[in-house]
Amino acid sequence: MVGSVQFGNVAERREQPPALAVSTVIFALRDDDRTGRKGLWLPLVRRTREPFLGQWALPGGPLGARDSLVDAAAANLRDTTGLIPRYLEQLYAFGDPARSPTRRVVSIVYWALVRENDAQHTESAATSVLLDDPNVAWFRADDVEVMEHLAFDHSRIIDYALWRLRNKVEYGSIAHRLLGERFTLAQVRGVYEAVLNKSLDPANFRRQLRAAADIEETDEFLSGGKHRPPRLYRYSGSTSHPLESETIS
């Protein structure tokens, strides 16, 4: 039986080497009416080809011949979703022989953080080529964990990305990539609350953040709320990860 030609599929597979693809899990912060807090959202694209035609999947594509892995991820992100991430880090390489029903594919998956404003562009900005693109949609991260209609093993990949994000947020340096250049400490607390999915004491959070993270105060304040205007802060540190590059400006 071994080596039989009966199962053409298997025989073919042995000949051709595994294909390489690069995909990305993108996270952004958005208002969540259900909790009243900010929540984590992520965009998915609808597949336009077999296999899994019509189902939602992570944005991704083949590895360009001359791009580095991270460049390939960034380029593909721009092409498929119009997003330019503020942060891009390698997540994991998925290479299970059975993860694609057709030819074997090894996917190197990145995870990205985009700012709330950037994320809105894909929907509302007139300049965006993806305005009203029905093949890109945003989902609550918690919902995706439940959805079972994602292509390939993408549901599992998203689970893992969430796990990594939650384990990483403690290192600081994540929050400001989901926010703008300047931000209030309450906004940072919002990020932590969204990622960890629980409320935090404002007083203690403030103290810990000021003591630990590389955040420095500016002279500016944010007015407009019906309360005392909070001071704006700025991030001054850099990645602690030796293999990942700095924030993309």
Partner DNA sequence: TGAATAGTGTCTTTCAGACACTATCGG
Partner DNA sequence: CCGATAGTGTCTGAAAGACACTATTCA
Q: Which residues bind DNA (CB under 7 A)?
A: 184-186, 201-204, 206-208, 211-212, 221, 223-231
Based on CB atoms, which residue is closest to DNA, 14 or 198?
198
Q: Choose the one of DNA, a copy of itself, none that binds residue 108, judging by a C-beta under 5 to 8 angstroms depending on kind.
A: a copy of itself
Q: Choose the one of DNA, a copy of itself, none that binds residue 211, judging by a C-beta under 5 to 8 angstroms depending on kind.
A: DNA
Based on CB atoms, which residue is closest to DNA, 182 or 206?
206
CB of 87 to DNA, least distance (A): 24
What Rg value do the Cα atoms of the chain yield, rounded?
Answer: 20
CB of 67 to a copy of itself, least distance (A): 7
The binding site for a copy of itself (CB under 8 A) comprises 13-14, 17-20, 63, 65-69, 90, 92-93, 95-97, 104, 106, 108, 159-160, 163, 242-243
Q: 24, 38, 42: which is closest to 107 by C-alpha? A: 24
CA–CA separation, 214 and 237 (whole Å): 5
Based on CB atoms, which residue is closest to DNA, 49 or 228?
228
Strands annotated E in the chain: 19-31, 38-46, 56-57, 60-62, 87-94, 105-113, 136-140, 182-183, 215-221, 231-235
CB of 172 to a copy of itself, least distance (A): 15
The tokens of 98 are what? 């059975």
CB of 132 to a copy of itself, least distance (A): 35
CA–CA separation, 75 and 58 (whole Å): 14
DSSP string for residues in 14-46: HHSPPEEEEEEEEEEEEE-TTTSSEEEEEEEEE
Q: What is the DSSP letter of 75?
A: H
Q: Choose the one of a copy of itself, DNA, none that binds residue 163, judging by a C-beta under 5 to 8 angstroms depending on kind.
A: a copy of itself
